[in-house]
Amino acid sequence: MKKSIKVLTGSIAFLLIVGILYFANGFLGNPISKMMANNTSTKYIEKNYPNMELEISNAYYSFKSGDYYVQVKSPVSKDTNFSLTISPFGKLIYDSYEYDVVSKYNTLHRIDYSYNTKIKSVFESKNFPYKSDIYFGEIRDKSLNEEDEYFYPDYGLDVEKLELDKDYDINSIGKKAGHIVFYTQDEEVSIKKASEILLNIKDILDKENISFYAIDFTLEKPRDDGIPDEGDISISVEQFLYSDIYMENIEKRIIKAREDLKKYYEIEDSKKLEGLKNQ
């Protein structure tokens, strides 16, 4: 009897250990697979990029995908960095070099980051007169215009024409590809107030030598919980052009842009309903 209990206890302990190792492997990976991933990445880089000076990180495990990732970068090129995806058995699954480097995504990301940093430095300044909980700047990829020809103006960068590691004039880029999103609150929600704020934002950014092509702007009532009430009035325009922000008749342009945005949402809602009907 005692022997049976010992055998049962040993079996349970063994199963518990196996279970713990199984779950640990699922969340943390295992040293053997990590070693295989490191070896695979080293050999792959030596074979496929023999003439490039590249630094390779240690493989790290992602419990979401179950695969291992290795970061690769050049110490002499700020736009040359990419990743390798490797299976737990040491097989290369994906090399992001073509997408990240060759397609100029990294170059676009670098320019976009610099632009957004400059925009935020203005909006977060203690001297900036408006409070906002949603604000950022981005450099628009021109190819995205094809997604919605009805609403979006044709602007942005031709990413394919960017040059690796080139230093770009952020203000010049902003003039032809800069897009700003800015939400603000005020007790007065009116077309007149929206006009006043837009004109002032443009003036402030001009003085900081930061330009943009279009802005998404929303003016709404202050709220304590961060959630607007259902009946709250707000004024929103999207893709409102920098060239349209000037004093003469600006209120008429804002009213039209607001109506255009409303029509756009109605069309999009209609498309969604039609799609649901056809399912």
Structure-token pair, residue 88: 């737990």
Please give the pLDDT value at position 254: 97
Is pLDDT at 70 greater than 80 in this prediction?
A: yes
Is pLDDT at 236 greater than 70 in this prediction?
A: yes
User: What size, in residues, is the chain?
Assistant: 279
Please give the pLDDT value at position 8: 45
Listed range (28-42, 128-142, 164-178, 190-204) with the worst mean pLDDT: 28-42
Please give the pLDDT value at position 223: 73
Beta bridge partners of 56: 72
Strands 234-241 and 134-139: what pairing? unpaired
Angle between helices 250-277 and 191-207 (to 10 degrees): 100
Number of helical H runs and strand E runs in the chain: 7, 9
pLDDT band at residue 224 under the 50/70/90 scheme: low
Please give the pLDDT value at position 29: 52
pLDDT digits (tens, 9 = 90+) for 90-108: 999 999 999 999 999 999 9
CA 137 – CA 7 distance, rounded (Å): 66
Burial of 181-220, coded b for 16+ CB within 10 Å and e otherwise, reads: bbbbbbeebeeeebbbbbeebbebbeeeebbbbbbbbbbb
CA 27 – CA 60 distance, rounded (Å): 11
Averaged confidence pLDDT in the chain: 87
User: For 104, phi and psi rounded to 5 degrees?
Assistant: 70, 20
Return the residue matching tokens 């097989």.
91
Strands of 6-127 (E only): list them.
55-56, 60-61, 68-73, 81-86, 92-95
Return the residue matching tokens 């080139």.
166
Top-confidence residue, 31 or 246: 246
Is pLDDT at 204 greater than 80 in this prediction?
A: yes
For the chain, helix, strand, coil in percent to 5 are: 50, 20, 35
Please give the pLDDT value at position 22: 38
pTM over 0.95: no
Please give the pLDDT value at position 259: 95
Residue 180 to residues 40, 122, 189, 278, Cα–Cα distance (Å) = 43, 12, 20, 36
Is pLDDT at 24 greater than 70 in this prediction?
A: no
Please give the pLDDT value at position 16: 44
Please give the pLDDT value at position 274: 73
